[in-house]
């Protein structure tokens, strides 16, 4: 059962064949091959479906894997004539089935990495795509560079029969959701959760539980969904980090998830893991 966007893993990524160019070439030449065509966060999309036409032979392609029917999928830059739709719109408007959305997300994160890592971070020479798109090699200094994933901790905080939710200035008016922040080098997931919650709202956490994770291709994050139990309820909000935060009881949280709150307050969109963390928090505060 799909619970949130980008969660399905529809492809066998075939990691063991990436370093075998002749096998990858066979897939690329397959009559059933599909290409996800991208330009930044824009996706080639027309007539209600992905534009999956093959690029010319000189265009570098990233091998994404094979789907349940054996169809190979690649990602490549869009052509100048492609009509483009932002990936976020494809998600929010539900324009793609969940499996296709996940394939596009994988392609988008990888294409973005290649676009922004063309030159060797060590010596500045132009590097070359290798391993069907999962490595870049520098011919000058021999350094290898690998695609990055940026881990983000995202957490619901509960205490007795209430849940803490906050909001960012940039969010839609009246939307309250879970706290979140990028992990820092040297941190465990638990350390990052404790640090972010203390920085944003001044709460210390007792128990912390892992709930689920979500790839978030804007451009290449991994949302690590957690629930923490606060030691007390006194908030010290850092307004540089968030606009505000407050405690909500179970009745309010239910209405925010259902979008029936009398003041128009809402939880996040159901695409986002934040919605599911809020729901999980609701179950726990109800006991």
Q: Phi and psi at residue 158, in whole multiples of 5°?
A: -125, 160
Q: Phi and psi at residue 219, in whole multiples of 5°?
A: -100, -25
CB of 33 to Zn ion, least distance (A): 32
CB of 135 to Zn ion, least distance (A): 13
Residues 139-168 that bind Zn ion (CB under 5 A): 140-141, 143
d(CA 272, CA 275): 6
Identify which of residues 118 and 259 has a Cβ nearer to Zn ion in the complex.
Answer: 118
Identify which of residues 135 and 269 has a Cβ nearer to Zn ion in the complex.
Answer: 135
Identify which of residues 138 and 155 has a Cβ nearer to Zn ion in the complex.
Answer: 138
Q: Phi and psi at residue 6, in whole multiples of 5°?
A: 70, 5
Six token digits for residue 18: 């990436």
d(CA 151, CA 136): 21
Which of 61, 87, 104, 138 contacts Zn ion by CB under 5 A? 138
Stretch that binds Zn ion, among 25-33, 82-90, 134-142, 183-191 (CB under 5 A): 134-142
CB of 20 to Zn ion, least distance (A): 25
d(CA 281, CA 161): 10
Q: What is the 3-state secondary structure (H, E, C) of 19-64?
A: CCHHHHHHHHCCCCCEEEEEECCEEEEECCEECCCCCCCCCCCEEE
Interface pattern 178-217 for Zn ion (x via CB under 5 A): ----------------------------------------
CB of 58 to Zn ion, least distance (A): 24
β-pair partners for 167:
244
Count residues binding Zn ion (CB under 5 A). 8
CB of 244 to Zn ion, least distance (A): 46
* 264-265-270 Cα angle (round to 5): 110
Residues 66-125 that bind Zn ion (CB under 5 A): 120, 122-123, 125
Identify which of residues 120 and 132 has a Cβ nearer to Zn ion in the complex.
Answer: 120
Identify which of residues 116 and 140 has a Cβ nearer to Zn ion in the complex.
Answer: 140
Where would I find the H helices in 65-179?
Answer: 87-92, 98-116
CB of 51 to Zn ion, least distance (A): 35
By the criterion CB under 5 A, which residues form the site for Zn ion? Answer: 120, 122-123, 125, 138, 140-141, 143
């Amino acid at each position: 059962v799909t619970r949130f966007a980008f969660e399905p893993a529809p492809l066998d990524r075939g990691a063991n064949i990436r370093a075998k160019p002749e096998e990858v070439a066979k897939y690329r030449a397959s009559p059933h091959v599909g290409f996800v065509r991208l330009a930044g966060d824009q996706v080639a999309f027309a007539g209600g479906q992905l534009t999956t036409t093959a690029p010319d032979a000189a265009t570098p392609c990233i091998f994404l894997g094979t789907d349940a029917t054996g169809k190979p999928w690649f990602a490549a830059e869009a052509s100048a004539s492609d009509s483009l739709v932002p990936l976020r719109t494809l998600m929010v408007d539900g324009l793609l089935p969940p499996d296709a959305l996940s394939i596009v997300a994988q392609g988008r994160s990888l294409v973005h990495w290649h676009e922004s890592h063309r030159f060797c971070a060590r010596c500045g020479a132009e590097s070359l795509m290798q391993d069907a798109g999962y490595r870049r090699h520098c011919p000058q200094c021999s350094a290898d560079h690998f695609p990055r994933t940026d881990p983000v901790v995202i957490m619901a905080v509960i205490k007795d029969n209430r849940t803490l939710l906050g909001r960012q200035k940039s969010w839609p008016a009246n939307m309250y959701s879970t706290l979140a922040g990028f992990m820092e080098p040297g941190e465990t997931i638990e350390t990052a959760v404790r640090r972010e919650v203390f920085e944003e709202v001044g709460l210390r956490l007792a128990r912390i539980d892992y709930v689920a994770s979500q790839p978030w291709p804007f451009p290449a994050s991994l949302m690590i969904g957690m629930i923490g139990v606060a030691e007390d309820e006194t908030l010290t909000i850092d307004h540089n980090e968030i606009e505000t935060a407050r405690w909500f009881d179970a009745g309010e949280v239910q209405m925010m998830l259902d979008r029936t709150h009398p003041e128009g307050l809402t939880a996040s969109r159901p695409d986002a893991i934040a919605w599911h963390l809020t729901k999980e928090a609701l179950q726990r505060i109800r006991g």
